[in-house]
Amino acid sequence: MNEIYYLMEHGTLRKKDGTIQFDDGRQARLLPVERVKELHVFGEIDVSKKCLELLGRKGIIVHWYSFYGRYVGSYHPSERSSSGTMTLLQSRFYEDMALRTTISHAIIEASYKQMIRLLKEHAHRLHPRRLLEFERAFQLEKGTPPELFLQEAALRQRYYRLLDDLFRVTPLRFEKRTRRPPGNEVNALMSFANTMLYQLVLSELMTSKLDPGIGFLHATNDRQYSLQLDLAELFKPYLVDGFIFKLIQQKTLQKEDFEWHESACYLNPLGRKKFLHLWREQFKQTVYHNQLKRYVPYRELIRLEIYALQQHFNGKAYQPLTGFEWP
C-alpha cells in the first residue's frame, strides 16, 4: 500500500541502496520507494540530485511548504499519464462557454448540497430560521462561469456566517473567514486544511489523464492549477469544515497548538504534527459506494471524481459526488 510521508524536521534526503534516506541529524531512516506515494516537506531539507531522479522515476510527488505551512510548490515526474486527446477535449469544454458553464454549475450545486448536509447534521446547534433562510436563498442565476464564481463566493459568505453560529459552542471561535493572514485559530486550521486538500487533489490529478491547469469554475491562468481548486470545492464542507469542527469540539486541538506571528495565527510545529496525523487517518476511512458495490477510502472518492469528469468529456453527463453518502 502506497503511503504519504510528512517530513516535519530539518535534515537531508538522499538516495541510498536503491531507496531514499531521510536524516534529521539524530537518526537516519529509510523510506522504501515502493511504498511511498508522496512526500510533504515542512522542514528545511537538502535534497540530492540522485534522490530527485529516483523520486521522478518512481512517480513520487513532493510537495513543499514554508515554515508556517504555506504551500510553496511541487516536484512531480516529468513523465505523466496525460493524454493529448483528453487535453484537447478538456480544452474544448473550457473554450465553449456553454459547456464550461454546465460544469461550473454542477460544481457549485454539489458544493452547496455538501454545505447543507454539514449544517443539517448540526442543526440542533443552529437557529432554525437562519438555516431555513440559507436553504431557501440558494438559487443560481444564469450567467457565465465568472458570474457563477461571484455567486458561489456570495453563497460561501452566507455559509460562513452559519459556521460562525456553529463554532459558538466550541472552545475556539470562527467569527469570519480571514485568509491572508489567518486571523484566529479556526481560520489558521481552515487555511492549512484547505492547503492540504489542494495538494491531495493535485497529486491525484498528476496521475490522471486530465490537465490540472485547465479549470472551469476557477479561471485558467499561469499562477495556479485551476482544476485542483474546482474539485477541492466539492470536498471542502465535509473533509475540511466538518473535520475541523470535530477537532475543536473534541478539544483535540487547543490554543497551545497555535502561535502568532505579528497579526497572523498559525499552527505551531506540534500542532501541525497532531493535525497531519489525524488528517492522514481521516483519509483511511471508507464509505460504501453503491455503483462500485464496495467500500472505498475517502481519497479514492477524489480519484473517482476525476474519472467522472473524464467520462463527461467523452459524452457521459457529469454528476458530482454520486454513488455514495457520507456516513
The enclosing domain of 176 has a CATH number of: 1.20.120.920
Task: State the pLDDT at residue 146.
Answer: 87
The total domain count for the chain is 2
pLDDT in tens, 63-92: 999 888 889 998 887 655 667 888 999 999
| Residue 153 placed within a domain | yes
| CA 229, chain centre distance (Å) | 8
The enclosing domain of 13 has a CATH number of: 3.100.10.20
In terms of domains, do 199 and 61 share one? no
In terms of domains, do 89 and 232 share one? yes
Residue 223 pLDDT > 70, yes or no?
Answer: no
Count the neighbouring beta carbons within 10 Å of the beta carbon of residue 217. Answer: 24
Task: State the pLDDT at residue 1.
Answer: 56
Q: Are 111 and 232 in contact (CB under 8 A)?
A: no
| Residue 304 placed within a domain | no
Residue 128, strand partner residues? none
Phi-psi label, residue 98: left if phi above 0, alpha if psi -120 to 50, beta otherwise: alpha
pLDDT in tens, 95-123: 999 999 999 999 999 999 999 999 999 88
| Residue 138 placed within a domain | yes
- Residue with the bigger pLDDT between 148 and 76: it is 148
Band (pLDDT 50/70/90 cuts) for residue 126 is: confident
pLDDT in tens, 248-274: 989 999 999 999 988 899 999 999 999
Task: State the pLDDT at residue 67.
Answer: 82
Mean pLDDT of 230-242: 96
In terms of domains, do 156 and 252 share one? yes
In terms of domains, do 71 and 88 share one? no
| Residue 169 placed within a domain | yes
In terms of domains, do 247 and 129 share one? yes
| Residue 296 placed within a domain | no
In terms of domains, do 35 and 165 share one? no
Band (pLDDT 50/70/90 cuts) for residue 22 is: very high
| Residue 308 placed within a domain | no
The range of the structural domain enclosing residue 184 comes to 84-291
| Domain closes at, from 23, 45, 75 | 75
